[in-house]
Amino acid sequence: MITLGWLYTLGGAMFAAYAVLSARDRLNPRRWGNAAFWGLLSLSFLGGHMLGDIGNGVLVLCLVGLAGFGAIGRGAPETTNDAEREAHSRRLGNRLFLPALIIPATAFFGTLAYNYTPFGQSGLFDPKWVTLILLGTGALAAVAVTMVWLKPPAIAPLQEGRRLIDSIGWAVVLPQMLAALGAVFALAGVGDIIGALAGHAIPEGNRFVAVAIYALGMALFTMIMGNAFAAFPVMAAAIGVPLLIKGYGGDAAVIGAVGMLAGFCGTLMTPMAANFNIVPAALLDLKDRNGVIKAQIGTALPLLACNLLLIYFLAFR
Amino acid sequence: MSYLPLLGILVVIVGFVLRFNPLLVVTVAAFVTGLAAGFDFAAVLAALGKAFNDNRFVTVVYVVLPVIGLLERFGLQQRARALISGVKGATTGRLLLLYLALRQGLSALGLTSVAGHPQTVRPLVAPMAEAAAERQGAGDEDTREEVKAYAAATDNVGLFFGEDIFIAIASILLIKGTFETYGIVLAPLQLSVWAIPTAILAFLIHGTRLLLLDRRLKARAAAGQGREP
């Protein structure tokens, strides 16, 4: 069976190649920093399951040290310039989209086929990770097709991949680091403390205020944790279940579903949700690290107000 | 109950405001939180390492970068721009509105990894949105930044407020699991139908903002032309 481990091996091999290519990139004054960073990440993907918790912790500290003290630069892999790209684009026309569409098409049709045809009974993929595994498969297929069709130098996919990964830089591991911070918050009981504080803040007998603190608390706590999944159990325990459901007799399905979505409004407004807000800013070469968040606040705030009212009116019909 | 572990949150906020390297801020915050709660250094280090290792699936999506870079080498972004410049009536707002509908629809079917920032926004959606803005006559540096940011934002909004309509998504299962510990038993479908009103509102609110963006671009283009000799 193809599992997530297969995808980790692929990722580990890719980061290992970036490490080697970085070390040989004399145009990057910080080439050893880059080589060490991608090399450690490669180790994590290939052998993370064998390092043990402390071993992985030390690996994390090394990554943070390299990034935090400016040891990482941006490589200068050989690629085409704008004029060449314009010429290629004109020569190749819209056929150029086809390899790009292989990835989403593989993920889309593959997932449908796996879920709704006998192909799913083959047990080829780990059912929990079907789409992600298909995404990796599609990426490999798209590289193969492009190599056969356009015949670039054999090293080109790895050099181009390195160009993009270097443009994201250390932010590549920020989402994983924030997830790790969330785990330490959970260990230290930060959620329980915040839940208790939120519980104290509610005056008795005012249903609207209770709903408001539940919805706004979901958004605010999500902003702190960077993840609505961490906020939900806390706010459910502090307000959702004891007050809104058991106290005022609200509809649990509405309180759960819309409460979670109020949290998602918080996700749109925080740098802690790095994979949605910070990494794309790097990936799109935005000058303002918070540019994506700024574009989202105008949607998130009115939608948060809507969610608050939805809970108030729909949960207590 | 001791409030000391909340110091970690303070570290995060101050660190982000003072613009220290976020990896450094997060690591310091983790140790402050853990030590304040009475754990020793090794315990916090182990918790960090374990969670980092368990969450590798977040980062593995970058296996798509080599092919995206390869296609950029052959002018994929230029092609995406050329395609949009040829479509009559294509504007940044309308293009992103279409992408919003597509992303929300696919996510509602549980197909969340089909699109995303590395696989669709960088190679296709962002260059197309930029080209549309240029067609509208607004191609200056600030506009390009804003348009790219909106492209990324539209992907997020579509994903967040589409995925909860799908019954087997992690957040629905988390709600179900949490409530079950209090003896409240819900079917996933009961939860996912209540994600629909918010999904519709998200589409209306963000969609309106996209069309307002079009208006701003138009005004900017008109002002820009006025300045020309």
Dump pLDDT digits (tens) for A182-201.
889 888 988 888 888 888 88
Q: What pTM did the predictor assign?
A: 0.87
What total number of domains does chain B contain?
2
Residue B194 scores a pLDDT above 60: yes
Residues A39 and A168 in one domain: yes
Residue B58 to residue A245, Cβ atoms within 8 A: no
pLDDT of residue A253: 95
Q: What are phi and psi of A125, to 5 degrees?
A: -115, 150
The position carrying tokens 């107000």 is A305
Region B88-113: mean pLDDT is 91
Beta bridge partners of A125: A2
Region of A152 on the Ramachandran plot (φ > 0 left; ψ -120 to 50 alpha; else beta): beta
Question: pLDDT band at A211, cuts 50/70/90?
Answer: very high
Distance from CA of A204 to the nearest CA of B (A): 22
DSSP symbols for A52-70: HHHHHHHHHHHHHHHHHTT
Positive/negative CA dihedral, A84, A90, A92, A93: positive
Helix axes B92-108, B141-163, angle to 10 degrees: 20
Contact yes or no for A43/A59 (Cβ under 8 A): yes
Is B29 an 8 Å CB contact of chain A? yes
Residue B216 CA to residue B140 CA, distance in Å, equals 13
Which of A55-69, A116-130, A235-249, B72-86 shows the highest mean pLDDT? Answer: A55-69
- C-alpha dihedral, B194 to B195 to B198 to B201, nearest 10°: -100
Question: What would the mean pLDDT of A78-90 be, rounded to a whole number?
Answer: 92
pLDDT bracket for residue B1 (50, 70, 90): low
Q: What is the mean pLDDT of chain A?
A: 91
Q: Is B93 on the interface with A (CB under 8 A)?
A: no
Q: Are residues A273 and A205 in the same domain?
A: yes
H, E, C per residue of chain B: CCCHHHHHHHHHHHHHHCCCCHHHHHHHHHHHHHHHCCCCHHHHHHHHHHHHHHCHHHCHHHHHHHHHHHHHHCCHHHHHHHHHHCCCCCCHHHHHHHHHHHHHHHHHCCCCCCCCHHHHHHHHHHHHHHHHHHHCCCCCHHHHHHHHHHHHHHHHHHHHHHHCCCCCCHHHHHHHHHHHCCCCCCCHHHHHHCCHHHHHHHHHHHHHHHHHHHHHHHHHHHHHHHHCC
CB-based contact, B44 to chain A, within 8 Å? yes
On chain B, the residues whose CB falls within 8 A of the CB of A314 are 194, 197
Final residue belonging to a domain, choices B13, B32, B54: B54
Q: Are residues B135 and B73 in the same domain?
A: yes
Closest CA to B134 of B48, B195, B220: B220
Nearest to B62 by CA among A158, A24, A145: A158
A11 vs A225 pLDDT, higher one: A11
Instruction: Give the per-residue pLDDT at B144.
Output: 93
A40-72 pLDDT tens trace = 999 999 999 999 999 999 999 999 999 998 899
pLDDT at residue B98 is higher than 90: yes
Domain of B221 in residue numbering reads as: 63-227
Q: Supply the ipTM of this predicted assembly.
A: 0.89
| Of B121 and A183, the one with more pLDDT | B121
Q: What is the pLDDT of residue A30?
A: 94
Inter-chain residue contact A193 with B197, CB threshold 8 Å: no
- Segment B92-102 shows an average pLDDT of 96
Same domain, A103 and A71: yes
Give the three-state DSSP class for A26: coil
Domain that holds residue A202: 189-314
| Residue B1 to residue A193, Cβ atoms within 8 A | yes
pLDDT of B187 over the 90 cut: no
Model confidence at A20, pLDDT cuts 50, 70, 90, reads very high
Residue B67 has pLDDT above 50, yes or no: yes
Q: What is the pLDDT of residue A108?
A: 82
B143 and B50 both lie in a single domain: no
Examine the pLDDT at B227 and tell me if it is beyond 60.
Answer: no
A145, A172, A199 - which closes a domain: A172
**In this complex, do A108 and B155 lie within 8 Å of one another by their Cβ atoms?**
no
Residue numbers in A near B67 (CB within 8 A): 99-100, 103, 139, 142-143, 146, 157
Closest residue to A44, CB basis, from B43, B56, B76: B56
Same domain, B69 and B44: no
> Dmax over Cα atoms in chain A, in whole Å?
72
**Residue B198 near residue A310 (C-beta atoms within 8 A):** yes
Q: Are A18 and A76 in the same domain?
A: yes
**What is the per-residue pLDDT for B92?**
95
Contact A7 B60 (CB under 8 A): yes
